[in-house]
Structure 1
């Protein structure tokens, strides 16, 4: 009887224990994993290489925020998917917030969140974007607000989810119902939709030993999924729990998933300096394990968090391909409706309209990912910053792709397109030898036919606040301006007198170029040679690839006012100091001021002379003026910027910044106390690199997140001045790490603090450090890092008394740079050293200070208190 029961159960057991796709007689629909661990298209047998984003509008904060700002979620999704297609995205992944679409038993709940996910998947399908879904997120839905989810993930923690029988049963039930769910828009079961090419079981689980329990859980989830009839590859996270990675290597899965946050998360401000070494490589410790090699590799999330520089994504894509990945999706693309505020995960910020340079870098990164061969090896940075048709430059803040048919750039470039006559696609920010543009938004040119091009121009994006500070839907961080901007196009088949015609609804623009030049507002346009019959390209049905020629999506001006009457804003970042007796150039960012509006700099030596200085507009969004030397004697310089509208008939007032206050500082009733200020110091005074009293919001202070990890705090000196305290804990018995790591460190970018004293850098001879330690003999190191990521270090010998330590700059020796904030996942390298570097530091190239505390802590935690670091 027992044998009969076993025989009867065999078909059910076999359906649960289906072989990996690599061993199946018939490949799974769409893609399969071959015996070498390569993900291939089932029809062509070609390798898969897909690159894209995560996007979360149907769930959690993104869903609630859309409601809060009054956005139509379906329309918002359509608009965002259009922009993703515009950027060449062909991969989408999201960890589904199961807590919002299940009950506590794991039953699928048909509701608005699930419907919007279905709608999103249908929209992605129409644009040819492939999907991998992660059904289990393990997150509740609150961040950054209180939790409100009521599904099984609201009662079972990550650590409990794989050991609690009720939690395991809920997950099995949910996976079964989720895969068998029919999308009402596509009429497909999720498990059978050919555009959903694979599934990842769960998002970032939390496991611990014993390993066998982890393997058993993973296999049980796979069996539940296979029991539905699912034939597609199943991926599993291996990067989150390095201590038990063997358990996942032993599991019955087709692929392995990884993430990459190369400089950590949530610094609370924009990270500055050369971070390219952080993304120079992605070495996987177990990459030679046969169990690893026979699995497909996927990056489910990556991001250059807290970084706006448009240079990180292409280098990350190159490193992914070098490591053998076939799928990579950034986390997370910001929905257009809430991108002005960057409230959805403040540490991330990516949107075509609001971060144009970074968005074009994502486009280029996708090209890198699809062009570079899997496992292709590269030299290390900086030697690898030019590869194939790609170039990445920290100094120029430029990512670039240049082939016969495509030319893309993230910033103004002098590079000549390889073959202008053969160009088919161009996209950029700034200007190039082919396009001269006066705005700050992105633009796209696509060849439709000989002598016919589609032009798409995004509005100007003007940063008004650091987008990585604490976020709020009441605080705009990037302003959108619909300015008419000068544009000059020099494409061989268009000539110099081409015509322009508006394409998007409501765009009735018609112009004829003179010497290739015209003026454009945001929109989509058809450019054609004068004698070309372009009528066929102005119909609603006309398309280029997956994009309709007449399609156009862009946000309204910020604030939502008529285009002709945006209120101006002005931003300035005053230098930390300026040298007495030397003229000082001050530059500001401007939004909303028309080209004919006048800008004045009002400069005053505190309680002394005041000068009104005209400002020169370098572009519609930047202006500058030079304060004369006669005002720059030792003391304090205060300054304001006055914006005077040229057209008084519009009723716009004269405004003074900071504060956007009516009137000017010289008016008798000007009441605002706000101003910008710059200390003026005598030549030869110490140059500040770090001051604990001023720089709390500018620096990165982190432990290395291991058994020896330290932490930081701010304390006061006996004189009552703030000091940064680096704390090293006492090492635990038996603790250790794969790579020796310092406990805690300070990283301070200082290059933007010294432009007012740049002429004095070359004369500095020593580094002055005001500090103390609680335990003599502590290993503390101070480093200066250059723009080319070459580090030079010296030991910092401290006592228990406050003292100023003098370190001759000549004593700094080449040394590895500490990669801090700490990269994630934790197996990635903590140090970087270029293959070659000059023997001596060139101080004029230095931009980053690092102070590193290693310990040891004897008997009690070790404290290193740091008040200031100066050059003299």
Structure 2
């Protein structure tokens, strides 16, 4: 390690959990520092100082040159994708003991970070921005899936990162690198939400888009309407989806690099499609993502290339040829040279390029050996409202057609689905075909060659064939707008509840079938954090439930609701105050307090009386010293059409002299009326 040219520093311990006296901690670390120095090593020595942060002084007294950190802003192990806006979770990396680090001239490195259980691309550049504002010099992502096992994501199921299998997320890391190279340490880039556009970087949660747009480079993680700030100076384009300079119908990343005047290198990755939950219980026997090599349309709008240029395949084994038509052409995965008609051929496929060769290309082969299909029917929808159905399907063969067939009331339904891209289809059942009652439907896929597969059973044939033995359709309740909108049921939704764990919590059946009570007893509300003993106590215990899917089929009825009904009670044979709030898509929270009694009952909260309150960053991040509340003051009034989650808090409204006592609630259900 002393002589290794690529080793820039040493870290002598990872994730210690010190419980000893400060002088003992200093002695322990100094022994390792001294042992390292005895080898002749003069490289900086780091220690993991994001644990037991109240010992920061003791760490630096041992002679270290810096500290290492980690960041999991969305927690770990949710077992499914976290929905909604996580920008509040990644808004700042505030180090409460930073004065100690800077007083000792300490450097700061992040040895692992990830927005765990998030399959979208937009959070990562915000994390990079927050790191730079905190004075972080280097940050390394954890963890990158080896390509040969990325189909199953067994490396660590709460993470998922691989260029082939998660192209948008990988492009987002490319943007993170640009942030680290161009944003100074300790840069003040404003407060949320005004800090989402800075120095050529833009982040958009609604579009799941992160982009970097400067004269020389244009990088984007999803479809974008932005135009390059100066196309004439562009030397690099990296993207996914469509932009003003590239239109591409595939689902893989692509890269365009200028080699010389009128000559560009194009690299196209194959399509990546997630066919199962990548963040759940994974196994080498379970496929969560597949790769397919497919021919797709691409159109370039680069003035330098014009509408007439040659396309030459250069990677080994690639004999694909294509014809150009008005700037558009078909393309398959591989590496290509695009040359303007007047450009000189002063390149060789084997020429050195960056750290490799010009013709380098690697991507996993196609893994689609069978038909993979995804569609989830909602529990209920509103009567006399259009109902949009979406489905994903990928098969070895091309899909010839997709159709929705079924019935609601006395009327039959037969609607062709339209393709959104190569593997995603949609259809809308008009409102007049959806009277109160039940919608029953199938989705029928016809493959090239005539084979038909009907879902949800996934069997070959049509549901009306005499020998089609599993005719169970998708079943959806169609309800009047006046019906309640059910947001939470403890018996069904407990696994999706985002909450810090306490041993005393338990789910208990009630006397009614289909109803259970989740008992959350806190004794006390606040528990000291052994990793941050100097932290100021926050007497607040908050938990969250995402309701995006619960309201999707009833979105049009939200404005007619004027009260929230909480069914439950208090524990400990005394009353308990509970704050309930809606969190909207910008991270704002609007809530009020109800006082629960020891007897099970229903409690009403009038929506017109909701007031702005503090948003708790949930899931709780790691390290635990990071901010508990989002530093943001809502500027808009409450809009029920923008709600994404419910935030419950025990602590607000409880008298100061009672905060150390036991407090608890039993929650059965929550609904809107």
Task: Give the corresponding residue for 2:420.
Answer: 618
Cα deviation for residue 812 of structure 1 reads 0.8
1:448 aligns with 2:259: yes
2:564 to 746, 767, 771: 767
**In the alignment, which residue of structure 2 is the partner of 1:554?**
363
- Counterpart residue number, 1:280: 91
Taking the TM superposition and a 5 Å limit, the aligned residue runs for 1:136-147 are none
Aligned counterpart, 2:544: 747
Report deviation, 1:619. 1.3
Distance 1:538 1:809 in 2: 68
Please report how far the alpha carbon of residue 263 of structure 1 lies from its aligned counterpart in structure 2 after TM superposition. 1.9
What is the aligned partner in structure 2 of residue 727 from structure 1? 520
Q: Provide the residue aligned with 2:407 in structure 1.
A: 604
**1:313 alignment partner in structure 2:** 124
Instruction: Tell me, in whole angstroms, the C-alpha distance in 2 between the residues paired with 1:442 and 1:410.
Output: 9
Cα contact 1:464–1:479 (8 A) shared by 2: yes
When the two structures are aligned, how many residues end up with a matched partner? 664
* Separation (CA, whole Å) in 1 of partners of 2:528 and 2:431: 59
Looking at structure 2, the residues matched to 235 and 319 of structure 1 have their Cα atoms a distance apart, in angstroms, of 21
What residue number does 1:824 align with? 622
CA distance in 2, matches of 1:858, 1:673: 57
In structure 1, the residue matched to 2:160 is 349
1:584 paired residue number: 387
TM norm structure 1: 0.73
Give, in whole Å, the separation in 2 of the partners of 1:307 and 1:641: 29
Q: Does 1:718 align with 2:515?
A: no
SS in 2 for 1:246: helix
- Per-residue deviation, residues 804-851 of structure 1 (Å, max 9, x unmatched): 21111111100111111111111111111424422x301111111111
Q: Assess if the C-alpha contact under 8 Å between 2:315 and 2:361 holds in 1.
A: yes
Match for 2:354 among 545, 550, 553?
545
Sort the Cα spacing of 1:732 and 1:762 in 2 relative to 1 into closer, same or farther, 3 A: closer
After superposition, the C-alpha distances for 1:190-213 in whole angstroms (9 at most, x for unaligned) are 321211111111211221121211
For 2:526 and 2:611, the matched residues in 1 are separated by 34
The answer to whether the 8 Å contact 1:781/1:853 transfers is: yes
Q: Give 1:732 shift.
A: 9.6
- 3-state secondary structure, aligned to 2:118: coil
* Pair 1:290–1:845, CA change in 2 (3 A): closer
TM-score (norm 2): 0.94
Match of 2:55 among 244, 263, 271: 244
Q: After alignment, is 745-754 or 517-526 more displaced?
A: 745-754
Distance, in Å, in 2 between the alignment partners of 1:385 and 1:739 is 30
CA shift digits 1:653-692 (9 cap, x unpaired): 3222334321122222222366433221112111222222
1:635 aligns with one of 428, 437, 443:
437
Equivalent residue, structure 2, for 1:485: 296
Once residues 457 and 742 of structure 1 are traced to their aligned partners in structure 2, the CA distance between those partners, rounded to angstroms, is: 53
- Give the secondary-structure state (helix, strand or coil) at the position aligned to 2:442: strand
* Cα drift, residue 611 of structure 1: 2.7
Which residue does the alignment assign to 2:554? 757
Matches within 5 A, 1:192-211: 192-211=3-22
Q: Does 1:644 align with 2:454?
A: no
Contact 1:461 1:478 in 2 (8 A): yes
Which range moves more in the overlay, 498-507 or 689-698? 689-698
Picking from 364, 372, 387, the partner of 1:569 is 372
Pick aligned residue for 2:592 from 786, 791, 794? 794
In 2: Cα distance, 1:715 partner to 1:420 partner = 63
Q: Distance in 1 between matches of 2:159 and 2:472?
A: 31
Is the 1:268–1:697 Cα contact (8 Å) retained in structure 2?
A: no
Please give the residue correspondences for 1:335-374 in structure 2 after superposition, counting only pairs within 5 Å. Answer: 335-374=146-185
2-side partners of 1:576 and 1:713: how far apart? 26
Determine if contact 1:437/1:486 at 8 Å carries over to the other structure.
yes
Structure with more relative contact order (C-alpha pairs < 8 Å, separation 6 or more): 2
Alpha-carbon contact 1:726-1:863 (below 8 Å) kept: yes
The alignment status of 1:699 with 2:497, answered yes or no, reads yes
Query: What are the within-5 Å matches in structure 2 for residues 139-538 of structure 1?
Result: 190-289=1-100, 292-534=103-345, 536-538=346-348
Shift of 1:292: 4.9
The alpha carbon displacement at 1:598 in A equals 0.9
Deviations 1:6-33 (A, max 9, x none): xxxxxxxxxxxxxxxxxxxxxxxxxxxx
Matched position secondary structure for 1:700: coil
Cα shift readout 1:782-805 (whole Å, capped 9, x = no counterpart): 110111111111112211222221
- Secondary structure of the residue aligned to 1:289 is helix
Structure 2 partner of 1:21:
none
Residues in 2 aligned to 1:584 and 1:397: alpha-carbon distance in whole angstroms: 24
Distance 1:341 1:594, change over 3 A: same
Q: Which segments of 5 or more consecutive residues in structure 1 lack a partner in the other structure? A: 1-189, 562-566, 704-708
User: Is the 1:204–1:237 Cα contact (8 Å) retained in structure 2?
Assistant: yes
Q: CA–CA distance in 2 between the matches of 1:831 and 1:763? A: 31
Q: Secondary structure at the match of 1:212?
A: helix
8 Å contact from structure 1 (residues 768, 806) kept in 2: yes
Residues 733/256 of structure 1: CA separation in 2 closer, same or farther (3 Å cut): closer
* Contact 2:88–2:630 (Cα < 8 Å) also in 1: yes
Greater helix proportion: 1
Residues 1:249 and 1:432: Cα distance change in structure 2 (over 3 Å):
same
Deviations 1:102-138 (A, max 9, x none): xxxxxxxxxxxxxxxxxxxxxxxxxxxxxxxxxxxxx
Q: Is the 8 A contact 1:405 1:423 kept in 2?
A: yes
Contact 1:727 1:861 in 2 (8 A): no
For residues 60 and 400 of structure 2, the distance between their equivalents in structure 1, rounded to whole angstroms, comes to 65
Q: What SS does structure 1 have at the residue aligned with 2:147?
A: coil
CA contact (8 A) 2:17 2:52 kept: yes
When residues 739 and 822 of structure 1 are mapped into structure 2, their CA distance, relative to the original with a 3 A threshold, is farther
Partner of 1:92: none
Kept in 1: contact 2:225–2:243 (CA 8 A)? yes
Counterpart contact for 2:525–2:660, Cα < 8 Å? no
> 1: CA distance between counterparts of 2:527 and 2:89?
30
CA distance, structure 2, for counterparts of residue 231 and residue 581 of structure 1: 74
* Distance apart, 1:740 and its partner CA: 3.7
Structure 2, gaps ≥5 residues long: none
Output the CA distance in 1 between the equivalents of 2:592 and 2:634: 19
Question: CA 1:711 to 1:293, structure 2 compared with 1: closer, same or farther past 3 Å?
Answer: farther
**Structure 1 pair 514/701, CA: closer, same or farther in 2 (3 Å)?**
same
Q: Distance in 2 between matches of 1:827 and 1:658?
A: 47
How much does 1:290 deviate? 6.1
Q: C-alpha separation between the residues in 2 aligned to 1:842 and 1:631?
A: 30
Say if 2:297 and 2:331, in contact at 8 Å, map to a contact too. yes
The separation in 1 between residues aligned to 2:178 and 2:504, in whole angstroms, is: 40
Displacement of 1:710 in angstroms is 7.0
Deviations 1:562-618 (A, max 9, x none): xxxxx3322113234211122311111222376551111123348x65433211112
